Amino acid sequence: MPSAPSNESPSWFKSSYSGGNTTECVEAALLCDGTAIRDSKATERASLLFQPHSWTSFVSALQDGRLQ
């Protein structure tokens, strides 16, 4: 997967389901060409960029219980 474009300043956020003391969390940023994901504990590392259709399919699968 390509990393998020460096010319965009992403606005990173965590899920509302993420607890304050959790050690396993990812952050997401909505970009014009997709959704970027990164490890919240290693924000200096590269992020992954998902195309809009792929991200929507992934979220739908989670919501429908097809992924656990």
Across the chain, what does the average pLDDT equal? 83
Q: In this predicted structure, what is the pLDDT of residue 28?
A: 93
Residue type, 48: L
pLDDT tens track for 26-57: 899 999 999 999 998 888 999 999 999 999 99
How many CB atoms sit inside 10 A of residue 27's CB? 18
Alpha carbon of 11 to those of 20, 31, 36, 68: distances in Å? Answer: 19, 9, 10, 27
Task: Please tell me which residue, 23 or 39, carries the higher pLDDT value.
Answer: 39
Instruction: Using a cut of 0.75, tell me whether the model's pTM lies above it.
Output: no
